[in-house]
Chains A and B, each alone.
Chain A
Amino acid sequence: MFRNLAPVLTVLAVLVVIWYGAAIVMNAPWAQDRAAKQGKTLGFSELVANTMSQERPRLPPPHQVGQELWKTTVEKKVTSKRSLVFHGWITLSATFWGFLLGTTLGLLMAVGIVYFRTLEMSLMPWAIVSQTIPIVALAPMIIVLLAALGIEERGVAKAIISAYLCYFPVLVGMVKGLRSPAAMQLDLLKTYSASGFEIFWKLRLPSSVPYLFTSLKVGIAAALVGTIVGELPTGAIRGLGARILIGDQFGNPIMIWSALFAAAILAGALVTIVGLLQKLALRKMGMAE
């Protein structure tokens, strides 16, 4: 784990340097334009100083994004409409419900597919097709449908969209996992005259756990993407996706960038948590590598 630390940090440092360079290049025209209007010419150091502190830069430099993140998370009250913690929480809860819904759906479908051949042949091709349909095309429809059914709560629509993206990795992983016991193991349980349920509960399910966690890690990241996609085209006013939308409408790039980074941090945290759970569970089950 720490073997990679030095290279990762180096690459990150290089990325930050590139980012600063790009910020100077992209923000310079605006600064020069304004100086020209005032009949001044900017020296290089003045120009750089200006590009680092514009109010509406084309590309905000890292420290501006960092400051905005700090301001909107630590310095604002979490109940405030301007707090990223508040918006992050909205997104997180929709992600959580979507993840729960998607995982349950994926698990049930996987069990059905492993046990019923008809279900496998009917459903599996459509499950694959469902992932090639761009969900964003469906997102506005889901909201219209739910509104017609009398469900105005935006969280439900977001959760459904995020479940749509998250069920597939769980389904594929679990089908593989439930089929992972070797023929010999299955035969052994037959000689014990185990019932179908016992085979499922004592052999198939435990041996699918490593597969389950691997797909859960993909699934939770997909669920977060789904929630944010669900917030973008639907005119949501709360949530990280909504912050991106509002930042775009008010021409405030720093707001967009800070919301993007908040989403990235959230994604990283979620994947890490699932990874830790994976380690714990596998160790308890004696399956740790």
Chain B
Amino acid sequence: MSWVLISLLFWAAAWALNIWLVRHRADRAMTRVLVPVIFGLSVLVLWEGLVKGLGVSPIILPAPSAVLARFLSSTETLWIDFVQTALKGAVSGYLIGAGAAFAAAIAIDRSPFLKRGLLPIGNFVAALPIVGTAPILVGWFGFDWQSKAAVVVVMVFFPILVNTVQGLSETDRMQRDLMHTYGATYMQNLVKLRLPAAMPFIFNGLKIATTLALIGAIVAEYFGSPTRGMGFRISTEVGRLGIDMVWAEITVAAIVGSTFYGLVALAEKWVTFWHPSQRG
């Protein structure tokens, strides 16, 4: 019981500290980082305390410390799974899908007719549960990472396409007229005016697609994969009741997902430094 009490007290103390930080140190840059970190830590301590204090079976919910121990003792397996799912499946699919969507958007953009026809359809398809195509694509491309990359390509294609097409029409009349008076060619217009103006939208699509890429790569593994990969490991370990291993994989997935998103967000900051949302 003392575990429960101590962890609850810790959580309350952390919350009080956060309130104090926000009230009195809100102007410091450190506070912005410190507050969520303290909150996250306190939740972990609460989790640990509740699991230990209430004697929750590790088959149901392992304590964070047990997950950490499992994580550290099986880094080799986790690394192999990471390479298989995240690097080979998700990232390669993401690059192919984003490239294809970008090229398609530039092509569509030249024809207003196509644009009006494809945009509603693309918007619709982007809202569909495309993960459902995973078994079909696994059947077509085999069990290895190629089929996972294919699922990812299909999943990321439409959000990026729709956002890019929309972004390309974001220039206003005055800007286009100015380029016209300069006698700019189509290419100059595209590279110097319309692509930069489209960048905030393109990055919006790219950011949405990072999460979709990981989801696609993991789900596709449930439908058949070689004996490695995050989705494969999760489904087999659930069957063997190795729940601490499942949580270790979830931790990897969380780190990979956040890092991937963070990298794209960083690239966005670097490319669209001029945009109001990136200033101040």
Contacts and interface: CB of A to CB of B under 8 A. Distances in A.
A110 B222 CA distance: 35
Contacts of A4: 116-117, 120
Contacts of B128: 221, 225, 263-264, 267
Interface string A1-36: 001101111111001000000000000000000000
Nearest to B108: A11
Contact of A271 (B40, B113, B127, B139): B127
Nearest to A218: B127
Among A3, A122, A253, A268: residue with most chain B CB under 10 A: A122
A267 to B, nearest CB: 5
Interface string A100-129: 000000000000000001100111111001
B22 A118 contact: yes
Nearest to B122: A11
A238 B105 CA distance: 38
Interface stretch (A76-84, A178-186, A199-207, A241-249): A241-249
Nearest to B239: A140
Contacts of A90: none
Contact of A118 (B19, B59, B121, B138): B19
A133 interface: yes
Given A11-B121, A247-B135, A126 B246 contact: no
A260 B130 CA distance: 8
Given A122-B18, A140-B238, A229 B131 contact: yes
A30 B247 CA distance: 43
A247 to B, nearest CB: 7
A131 B243 CA distance: 22
A7 B113 contact: yes
A11 B118 CA distance: 7
A125 B254 contact: no
Nearest to A265: B128
B231 A136 contact: yes
Contact of B246 (A132, A140, A253): A140
A233 B257 contact: no
Interface centre among A7, A124, A126, A260 (most CB of B within 10 A): A7
Given A129-B258, A132-B257, A267 B238 contact: no
B129 A228 contact: yes
A232 interface: yes
Interface size, A (range): 35 or more
A217 to B, nearest CB: 9
Nearest to B222: A233
Interface string B133-150: 111101110000000000
A11 B132 contact: no
A225 B247 contact: no
B168 to A, nearest CB: 17
Given A137-B230, A140-B235, A145-B60, A11 B117 contact: yes
Contact of A225 (B59, B129, B140): B129
A48 interface: no
A260 B154 CA distance: 14
B59 to A, nearest CB: 7
A129 B254 contact: yes
A259 interface: yes
11 contacts: A11-B118, A58-B140, A118-B18, A122-B39, A133-B253, A141-B243, A229-B219, A233-B219, A253-B136, A260-B129, A264-B124
Interface of B: 15, 18-19, 22, 26, 31-32, 35-36, 38-40, 57, 59-61, 113-118, 120-121, 124, 127-129, 131-136, 138-140, 210-211, 214-215, 218-219, 222-223, 230-231, 234-235, 238, 243, 246-247, 249-250, 253-254, 257-258, 260-261
Interface of A: 3-4, 6-12, 15, 58, 117-118, 121-126, 129, 131-138, 140-141, 144-145, 148, 218, 221, 224-225, 228-229, 232-233, 240-241, 244-245, 247-248, 253, 256-257, 259-260, 263-264, 267-268, 271
